[in-house]
């Protein structure tokens, strides 16, 4: 999507801070003069070079901070060094690089004159800490990371910077069939976890306070915590639906509006919402829901009512993107003349391998389609991702282009959008798919 349209959508909805996963100058330039605060991101694959050579950190700061400030007048308070670099599935790939990279980047920020206003931080996955009893009071950092986390936490406190943690109640529900569904929400109508005199009614609070305890045990009980990501997907699993997402966000917004905090950290919560829009090119290795975290559809339409004030208005809708342009109104579907088509399974498999068929998964809006319409959905998705190239709607004669909307009930057959002021994007996020689509939004009252 055209980044100018995205920026206007952010302004229309009152979002004041964004978190990027990269620091592309073209993207950051779109926020110049908007009063939207940008947290720049440094990808994990850059950590080693930044850790081994201070000159690399100086170059990064010059190109991504100094130039933005002087030339673009765009600014933010934090630089996120890496993203979930200690994720258990990464094993120890970034363990030895993260802290020295943070030190070098902060040193370079200081040398460039930004040290008092821009601080480095790092978003961690919640798997860096644990509790053997599932009670927050037993929270501690993983033994293999305790030394690193102690050094990093003390460094952040010294620099008056926060630690970021990504908390996903949905994943608790997804990863365990025995997890009580009510505990993933804020409705306070189900299971409670008792920890001494404290009764936890939701996993968000329990997870957050597990980190609070872990920080206390390494001697930094007062370190500021920000939630770097929290969200709920809308397809790819039986619990990944717009209704469940709306329920989760309604509870979260009410909690934020109350400035209630958690039992161990009362007060205001700083929370980034993940994500702005769906992205059809994201890896689905963690699960088929990974492409559906957006609170907006790929073309900037709100998926469900959401009252950002926390007032509970069930009819309040976010402001949709304005000025979105689409490719011609045409769809690629299974050729109706192809009766008992030979090779349909192979064609369907190919379209799904190189397109996005996660909306066909159980619990998703297109899961009830019969095989022929599943093929049509897959063909159309592949066709649109390839910008309606005529060669992308063939499949050995099994497919044909039609002018009649192929959408079936709640199963949307999308049309590709024109992105970036006339340039056609390679996916239904266009230019923004790797940057702004992968952002989080900060909610504040």
Print burial letters for 429-440: b (CB count within 10 Å at least 16), e (below 16).
bbbbbbbbbbbb
Query: Tens of pLDDT along 129-144?
Result: 999 999 999 999 999 9
Q: How far is Cα 289 from Cα 242, in angstroms, rounded to an integer?
A: 12
423 domain residue, yes or no: no
Instruction: Calculate what percentage of the chain has a pLDDT beyond 70.
Output: 92
pLDDT at 430 over 50: no
Same domain, 255 and 387: no
Same domain, 354 and 307: no
Same domain, 318 and 335: no
Helix (H, G, I), strand (E, B) or coil at 411: strand
Same domain, 381 and 292: no
Phi first, then psi: what are they for 411, rounded to 5°?
-90, 100
Residues 6+ apart with CB under 8 A from 196: 137
150 domain residue, yes or no: yes
CATH number at residue 110: 3.20.20.80
The pair of three-digit structure tokens given for residue 190, joined into one six-digit string = 């189900």
Total domains in the chain come to 2
Q: How far is Cα 174 from Cα 172, in angstroms, rounded to an integer?
A: 6
The pLDDT value recorded for residue 399 is 97
Q: How far is Cα 261 from Cα 226, in angstroms, rounded to an integer?
A: 11
| 4-18, 66-80, 150-164, 344-358: segment of lowest average pLDDT | 66-80
pLDDT band at 28 (very low <50, low <70, confident <90, very high): confident
pLDDT at 59 over 80: yes
Same domain, 207 and 267: yes
The pLDDT value recorded for residue 72 is 57
Catalytic residues: 84, 229
- Highest average pLDDT, of 55-59, 280-284, 287-291, comes from 55-59
Beta bridge pairs of residue 177: none
Q: In what side-by-side order are the strands of the sheet with 325-326?
A: 325-326, 417-419, 423-424
pLDDT (mean) for 25-35:
86
* CA distance from start to end of the chain: 28
Same domain, 391 and 257: no
Pairing of strands 17-19, 37-42: parallel
Q: How far is Cα 186 from Cα 249, in angstroms, rounded to an integer?
A: 9
DSSP string, 225-287: EEEEEE---SSSBTTBSHHHHHHHHHHHHHHHHTT-B-SSSBS---EEEE-SB--TTS--TT-
Same domain, 304 and 234: yes
More confident residue, 212 or 285: 212
422 domain residue, yes or no: no
Same domain, 134 and 282: yes
Position of tokens 């890496």?
82
Same domain, 224 and 334: no
pLDDT at 442 over 70: no
421 domain residue, yes or no: no
387 domain residue, yes or no: yes
The radius of gyration of the chain from alpha carbons, rounded to an integer in Å, stands at 23
Range(s) of the domain holding residue 372: 328-415
The pLDDT value recorded for residue 70 is 63
pLDDT at 423 over 80: no
H/E stretch holding 131? strand 129-131
Q: Where are the alpha helices (DSSP H) in 88-145?
A: 95-111
The pLDDT value recorded for residue 431 is 38
208 domain residue, yes or no: yes
pLDDT at 274 over 70: yes
The pLDDT value recorded for residue 312 is 87
Same domain, 343 and 251: no
- Residue 312 near residue 334, CB atoms below 8 Å: no
Same domain, 249 and 354: no
pLDDT (mean) for 215-231:
98
The pLDDT value recorded for residue 73 is 62
303 domain residue, yes or no: yes
Same domain, 182 and 303: yes
424 domain residue, yes or no: no
Query: Tens of pLDDT along 247-264?
Result: 999 999 999 999 999 999
The pLDDT value recorded for residue 362 is 87
pLDDT band at 437 (very low <50, low <70, confident <90, very high): very low
Q: How far is Cα 97 from Cα 292, in angstroms, rounded to an integer?
A: 31
């Amino acid at each position: 999507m055209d980044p100018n349209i995205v920026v206007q959508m952010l302004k229309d909805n009152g979002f004041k801070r964004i978190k990027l996963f990269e620091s592309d100058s073209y993207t950051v330039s779109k926020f110049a003069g908007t009063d939207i605060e940008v947290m720049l991101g440094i990808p994990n694959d850059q950590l080693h070079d930044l850790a081994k050579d201070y000159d690399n950190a100086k170059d990064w700061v010059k190109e991504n901070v100094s130039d933005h400030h002087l030339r673009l007048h765009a600014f933010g308070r934090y630089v996120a060094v890496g993203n979930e670099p200690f994720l258990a599935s990464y094993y120890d790939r970034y363990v030895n690089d993260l802290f020295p990279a943070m030190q070098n980047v902060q040193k370079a920020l200081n040398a460039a004159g930004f040290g008092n206003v821009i601080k480095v931080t790092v978003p961690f996955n919640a798997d860096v800490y644990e509790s053997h009893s599932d009670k927050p009071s037993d929270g501690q950092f993983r033994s293999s990371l305790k030394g690193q986390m102690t050094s990093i936490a003390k460094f952040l406190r010294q620099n008056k910077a926060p630690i970021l943690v990504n908390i996903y109640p949905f994943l608790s529900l997804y990863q365990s069939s025995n997890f009580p569904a009510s505990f993933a929400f804020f409705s306070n109508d189900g299971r409670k976890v008792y920890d001494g005199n404290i009764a936890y009614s939701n996993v968000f609070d329990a997870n957050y306070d597990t980190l609070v305890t872990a920080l206390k045990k390494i001697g930094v009980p007062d370190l500021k915590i920000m939630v770097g990501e929290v969200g709920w997907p809308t397809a790819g699993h039986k619990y990944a639906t717009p209704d469940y997402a709306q329920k989760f966000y309604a509870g979260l917004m009410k909690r934020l509006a109350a400035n209630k905090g958690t039992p161990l950290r009362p007060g205001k919560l700083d929370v980034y919402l993940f994500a702005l829009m769906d992205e059809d090119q994201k890896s689905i290795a963690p699960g088929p829901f990974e492409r559906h975290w957006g609170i907006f559809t790929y073309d900037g339409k709100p998926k469900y009512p959401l009252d950002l004030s926390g007032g509970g208005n069930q009819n309040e809708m976010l402001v949709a993107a304005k000025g979105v342009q689409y490719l011609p109104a045409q769809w690629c579907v299974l050729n109706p003349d192809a009766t008992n088509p030979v090779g349909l399974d192979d064609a369907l498999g190919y379209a799904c391998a190189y397109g996005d068929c996660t909306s066909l998964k159980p619990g998703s809006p297109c899961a009830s389609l019969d095989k022929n319409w599943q093929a049509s959905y897959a063909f159309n998705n592949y066709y649109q991702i390839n910008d309606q190239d005529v060669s992308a709607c063939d499949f050995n004669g099994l497919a044909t282009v039609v002018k009649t909307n192929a959408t079936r009930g709640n199963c949307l057959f999308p049309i590709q959008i024109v992105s970036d002021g006339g340039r056609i994007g390679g996916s239904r996020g266009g230019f923004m798919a790797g940057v702004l689509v992968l952002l989080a939004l900060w909610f504040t009252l």
